[in-house]
A and B are shown apart, each in its own frame.
Chain A
Amino acid sequence: MSVSRDLLGLVARDLTVTGPAGPIVTRMDLAVRPGETVALVGESGSGKSMTAQAMTGLLPRGVTATGIVRLNDTEVDLANGPDVLAGLRGKRISLLLQNPFTSLSPVHRCGDQIVAALPATLRRSSDEIQRRLQEVDLPARVARQYPFELSGGMRQRVALAASLASDPEVLIGDEPTTALDVTTQREVLDLLARIQRERSMALLLITHDLGVARERADRILVMYAGRLMETGTGVNVFVSPQHPYTAGLRNSDPPLDRRVVRLPAVAGSVPRPWDIKAGCAFAARCDRADDHCFAVEPELGGVGVGVVGVGGEPIAQVACWKPLATDEAHHVEPAAPVVDISHPAPLVTISHLVKQFSRDAPPALASVSMVIGVGEAVGIVGESGSGKTTLARILIGLEYATSGTIDWSIAGVPARRAQIVFQDPTSALNPAMAIGAALIEALRAGGRDSSEMPALLDLVGLPAEYARRRPSSLSGGEQQRVAIARALAPNPKLLICDEPVSSLDVSVQAQILNLLNELVGRLGLALLFITHDLAVVRQMARRVYVMSNGEVVESGDTEAILTAPQHAYTRTLFASVPGRRAERAGTPGEIDE
């Protein structure tokens, strides 16, 4: 990484974004030098996307920004309105969006869209189009194709080529790989890194994925509720975080390399930036906060003598009245390596399950066999299209298999055998029904009495007065707790969870995972945990099945497989997890590395 010392790259000072409800981003400063990759990390509502939109003049109607944006030698005052940035867009600073499925016009050809920003003579040149396709490793035929004919990863490459068309000096990637499969993610991020090197661009990477930030960024900025909490290098931020939020975020992320007894979770949910009237934005969820923290908002200040950047400004900074000392970052206790010699009796045996949706397409499931034992926690890992969701739906009775058998060792109504928790809790709850009523209905369906409803709420950690509320007034994490409670109401022997935490904020994910582990242990449930995330499955399941393209490619003890994966696909999956390499270099608790 060559950092040119004469050009400053992208610098933003005092960036404030205000929406109709109040401030969304408050006094942000950031700098990205040419050739440097800076990651802007934050959960939903942190204001990271708004920051990017403010710097490119793309804020939605009703939202305004103030502050100074400087691009190498050009300085712009945002108070003059977003139009001042019109001349810079595309030519000097460009934005790559998250969703490759909607970033491109569906009725124009890819080649034409890539060169659309170029002057007319170049637009007609097929050589120019080919040159740009080659830069993003796309075959020549893509020029004449329409976006819907390409996969997500290919579409994102087209979008990348399009955003680079006018050769900008700065590229902002707003969650550019979030919508992609893990394996495709790695390819696209590698491509981004290569292009950045070749063009000596400044790259601002916006992400909620800590692993991505760790692995790809030279510097990391942590945002929370529209404010910068901490900045520093990967080592600063993840090995010795200063801010309690950063530490909490880092600890909430399930580690890939070992199983832990309990994920240290951050209590509460992410607030809306404009709801915080005074003091530190994180104070309400911080276990170190005192009266001063609630009263006065801390400023971003440098810590650590000697850690200085190029222009003399300190690289590592934190905005906190009571920052953590280097050794104070919570250690996460690894679970004792479990030698599981128990072979529980099978609860359900799946034999040679096949599911064919239509005659032309390949089968969604091609002869899958599995066993789930009584009270056992089993995981299914796979990317989209692996068939994992289809399997769950057949198991729960929402679909019928084309052939194969499912044998249950217990008799009884299907509703009391297995229940399911879906990925999106908002659409999994009836918006017109109060929570208490929904739970009572579920209890009655399971043959239990409605008087058990308060106990059910308590079981998932929700206060009794929530019974009267409607789902729309609850946060995502709380909604998922309700969904879990409802699933447990009929006392099922097996709880199926299909990506139950993928839609939730990182700091809330850990809460739900802990809750599930605790419930499984307390109630003696069997658990079928479906996910694409290897780190999560490690925390949740004793045995795991790895699926790809409708088949089980590898299965066995989770620890064994994740320590030494055998099958090529599992190895690719493992290697693609972002931050895996960096993780080994800086995990808390690993003293002798």
Chain B
Amino acid sequence: MRSRREFLKTCCACGAAGAALRLTRFGLIAANAQSSPGYKALVCVYLGGGNDGNNLVVPLSTADYQAYATGRNVLALAAGSLLPIPVTGAPSGYGLHPRMVQTKSLYDQKKAALVFNVGTLVRPTTRAQYRAGGNPVPKNLFSHSDQTNQWQTSNTAGTGGAGWGGRVIDLMQSLNTTTFPPGVSVAGASAMLNGVQTHAISVSPGSRFGLDSFGSGAGDQARQLAMQQILTFDTGVSPIASASGVTTSALKTAQDVNAALSGRRR
């Protein structure tokens, strides 16, 4: 299994050229990033395992650093090891974790910004207001799994529902002129990509995306035909309909993906 870190590394190292070349075969993105000057992309990286934000950005003013060092004890980073970044309105500035060299460079070029105190709130809420109660707050606040879901659905009232990426795809669906679904996950089912009308496909890196055949050619052909038929049966039972929908979509997309990866245009 590939780790998130490995995936992001390969994306950055060879992804821009390699992935774009492959994806153009889907007729999906006409190498926009390379050829269109106005091309813009919003890239969101959601750290499913969380991030130790208090060791990512550390305040450097004497009082604030002292409070941090006291709270963190042996986990605190030495003030001298931090990469200082200037912050308007905070003369002492802040320091980035010593390993965030590239981010510091981007920050210094004004190509990176940090947004603090972001969370899944229904409306701006102070700690005092939260403690006093009465202000609406997200369901199951402080529950990691619920908040993960709320980040991906932007629905603070529940623990399910369609994801915001999927809802965007629902609205843009008519613009997709290819057979290839716009939402693709390489990390399992994604609540973010789960639309109301549209559903993302999921591919598993390293696995062959398609059906293995066995036995005789005639038998194999007959099995595939029968499987296609069986997928259309018993759809009155909703879990069966859902499961068959997923498999039907997988079989259809597998053809497109494998054709593209083998270099044949469809």
Q: Are A and B physically bound partners?
A: no
Binding site for A on B (CB under 8 A): none
Which residues of A are interface residues toward B (Cβ below 8 A)? none
